Chains A and B, each alone.
Chain A
């Protein structure tokens, strides 16, 4: 497996780059830089910093996450869910929460806006290959989300994002991974908590 040393490539995957950077931030912020160094050593990486704006070989993120699971002693799915939560809740990454909140004024609006996610991502990063997302409304407050991605991480990160955003909107819901790429969402209480404030414009200064 020596050939699988991580390379930055021109034609590689941007999604892997974003996932790797998110994983790196989550591990460093939550477990400290030493544990991240341990992950990098065990994965035989030449570097210990992933650049979100560069490209990496397709599948690198899933491979490094597997190593992180071994080092941290946690299932890889749980790690990716936590990465999704971390992306939205960490104060340093307020920007991502804000971009997601532009999806709508209620959690249901937000869920529907997920179908626009690839288009929204392309507005910012024209060559980003975000997997298509479809949302089916099964009944009042019951949804099924499908996201076909070659990366294992995608579904779990999405679940983490949904959990954190439900909290942000003050909605109480049950989110679970179903067979295939399907995620089911049941909103139990739309106004469970107050939710966080969202101003359309960032205050000046």
Chain B
């Protein structure tokens, strides 16, 4: 069977045409409307009058320069784009054909990508589209994709929450609730690259090994937790206290470079830690030694140099007897 037999003519009454092409427009040879498909009539509303001129109904967007249906057909009848002149925000896409004999023109139109707008503004239903039209599938797909995107956005938010929680955990020392070495390194990096002024305290507990050996690890843990609480009490939110080893701590005091202030903070911490701590009826006695360095002590403060300087100050403090705070001599570096 051949689909293109030239002698094969079909005749169709307007009812059948409306059924197959609910968005057709039939124009006479002068370009005046003879009939409208029912859906196109809804699109054009009051403008869908018998005898209306094609160019009164539509503005031609492409092919450019065409105004009348004759010009449209002459320049690109196989595919054109129109905008209804009645203010509807949806463009139309179509093709046209001059019928033999009468010279009438049959134009068939569809909503392209503006389908959703048209359906919303005209409250179109399933019945307004031919059964072969993919409009339903397009509307369905737009909604399905929106639903999937919404789910993915939800998933992203939940994963982001989990990531923040995991990151928080990765920066915290679980025993004392203080920050850990990684967190202290991050803060030091940030402050150094911002050229901020700050004090760095390197603290080591005295007699901690004795508590562990004589009273057991539970007592040792209790001491570390208590030290954590003391440091949190003594420092401000913008400061950073980290446990960086067994009984070794790093304290970063933000925006403080005055030697007396830093010395006073260190001595206050030592005084609090030196108070006897009671664990299950036994008394734990520890103290602390602190080495202090200021970011301003170094010409070009970098974390490794600062930590090494604080370590030297701590060594000097231990050497001078326990329970002391020693500030690095300004000429030290």
Contact = CB atoms under 8 A, between A and B. Distances in A.
A179 interface: no
B155 interface: yes
B125 interface: yes
B141 interface: yes
Nearest to B126: A105
A125 B148 CA distance: 8
A99 B147 contact: yes
- Tell me the dominant secondary structure on chain B's binding face: helix
A95 B142 CA distance: 12
Given A102-B136, A200-B139, A204-B120, A52 B144 contact: no
B119 A124 contact: no
A11 interface: no
Contacts, number: 55
Nearest to A54: B155
Contact of A123 (B127, B141, B150): B141
Contacts of A199: 123
Contacts of A49: 158
Interface string A84-121: 00000000000110110010110000000000000010
Interface in B119-160: 119-120, 123-127, 136-137, 139-141, 143-148, 150-152, 155, 158
Contact of A201 (B120, B127, B150, B155): B120
Contacts of B150: 95
Among B124, B127, B136, B140, the one with the most A-chain Cβ atoms within 10 Å of its Cβ is: B140
Nearest to B137: A123
A123 B144 contact: yes
B144 A200 contact: no
Contacts of B120: 201-204
A71 interface: no
Contacts of B147: 95-96, 99, 124
B274 interface: no
A44 B126 CA distance: 48
A78 interface: no
B155 A123 contact: no
Contacts of B68: none
Nearest to A94: B147
Counting chain A residues whose Cβ lies within 8 A of the other chain, the interface size class is 20 to 34
B143 A98 contact: yes
B126 A104 contact: yes
A51 B144 contact: no
Contacts of B125: 105, 200
Contacts of A98: 143
Contacts of A51: 155, 158
B151 A53 contact: yes
Nearest to B128: A200
Contact of A200 (B119, B152, B155): B119
Given A123-B144, A124-B144, A200 B151 contact: no
Interface in A1-30: none
Nearest to B123: A199
A123 B134 CA distance: 13
Contact of B141 (A52, A124, A201, A204): A124
B145 A53 contact: no
B151 A123 contact: no
B33 to A, nearest CB: 27
Interface of A: 49, 51-54, 95-96, 98-99, 102, 104-105, 120, 123-125, 199-204
13 contacts: A51-B155, A52-B155, A95-B143, A95-B146, A99-B140, A99-B143, A99-B147, A102-B136, A105-B126, A120-B140, A123-B137, A200-B136, A201-B139
Given A53-B155, A102-B143, 7 more contacts: A95-B147, A99-B143, A120-B144, A124-B141, A125-B148, A200-B119, A200-B139
